[in-house]
Amino acid sequence: MKLAIICDSPLLDRCLEYYLREHVTSYRQCDFVVSDKPLKVDKPLCLISTSQEAYIPKPFTRTQLILGLEAFFKSLKLRPPFDEISEGHQDFALKKRIEEATSRFSQELYWMITEHHEGKR
């Protein structure tokens, strides 16, 4: 879970940065944005406020914040990048088969190109 924080409230901004320091990244690299106001952004927005439309209502505890953000992240149903699929992931066997197939293909392609160029000499 990677998130960017865009808040009007400096106090909330600092609080979120402190609680979520291992998840905070730049807007470009984030999975979603956490804000205290509705924003027009091209990434999913998790709103923290006292309004009815807030995903995480204020006030909140650290535990409520973490659980709320994890639930929001899971609701996005994002797929992990191919290179981050590890042994415990449900698609790990498929990843291994794809890697083996592409490795065989690249070797065959290399030898085919090499033979073609050697035949022209």
What is the rounded CA–CA span in Å between residue 36 and residue 5? 9
Burial of 12 per CB tally in 10 Å (0-12, 13-18, 19+)? middle
Q: What is the pLDDT of residues 104-121, one digit of tens each?
A: 999 999 999 998 888 776
pLDDT of residue 121: 66
What does pTM read for this prediction?
0.65
pLDDT band of residue 31 (cuts 50, 70, 90) is: very high
Phi, psi of 83 (to 5 degrees): -70, -10
Three-state DSSP class for residue 33:
strand
What is the rounded CA–CA span in Å between residue 117 and residue 75? 52
